Amino acid sequence: MKIISLKCNSCGSDLKVNEDTKFFNCSFCGSSLALEKSGNAVFTKVLKEIKGDTKAILKTSEKLLVEKQIARLDREWKRETEDYDLEDIEKGGGVIGSILGLVFFIIFAFGVFQNSQQSSFHHSIPAPMIIFFMLFGVVIFFSVMASIIKSIENNSDRREYEKRESVYEKRRRALLIKLKK
């Protein structure tokens, strides 16, 4: 066992310690010290400083972990939103267009029905025109129905998207709060 001479990093007093010692207290000021070796150099370090360094490293590591969690959450959200047709969700799925189309169809159908009840109607409009108007009415009807069905689907998708977006935002806010601590 070799005894080495050192200075206390806290009070500057001369100290003599066994070279195999890892931790000790200064016999003058009572500071807890660690024996540090770097190549041929041997010196002391106050343990409070080491503890402070360790806390700083731990805090930095925790911060990096939370930043990584935020990045992962953002990537997952981006992947998840690719499953949705955001254009249809943002437009509202054409609900107003569907309603206007349905109103137009009802007015059109009512007009054709009213005119078909009049006896002069059959004589003034040729049969091919009547068939054309009826087919036109059917096409409008099915177009409106398809639009209404699409609107219902989009409303369901929008609600599901908003629910998932709310969960994502809540998790992200919680991580940001954790990051600021």
Tens of pLDDT along 4-56?
Answer: 888 888 888 888 888 888 888 888 888 888 888 888 888 787 777 656 667 77
**Residue 170 reports pLDDT greater than 90:** yes
Instruction: Find all residues with CB under 8 Å of 102, minimum gap 6, and list them.
Output: 144, 148
Q: Among 21, 60, 65, which Cα is nearest to 44's?
A: 21
Q: Among 156, 48, 19, which Cα is nearest to 92's?
A: 156
Task: Give mean pLDDT, residues 64-91.
Answer: 81
For 102-153, write each residue's pLDDT tens digit.
677 677 666 666 665 555 545 566 667 667 767 777 777 777 777 777 777 7
Task: Please report the pLDDT score of residue 4 as a whole number.
Answer: 84
Backbone Cα Rg of the chain: 40
Q: What pTM value is reported for the model?
A: 0.45
Task: Please report the pLDDT score of residue 46 as a whole number.
Answer: 77
Contact status, residue 134 vs residue 115, Cβ threshold 8 Å: no
Report the DSSP beta bridge partners of residue 45. 34
Which helix (DSSP H) or strand (DSSP E) does residue 28 occupy? none
Task: Please report the pLDDT score of residue 95 as a whole number.
Answer: 58
Angle between helices 127-180 and 95-117 (to 10 degrees): 160
Contact status, residue 153 vs residue 91, Cβ threshold 8 Å: no
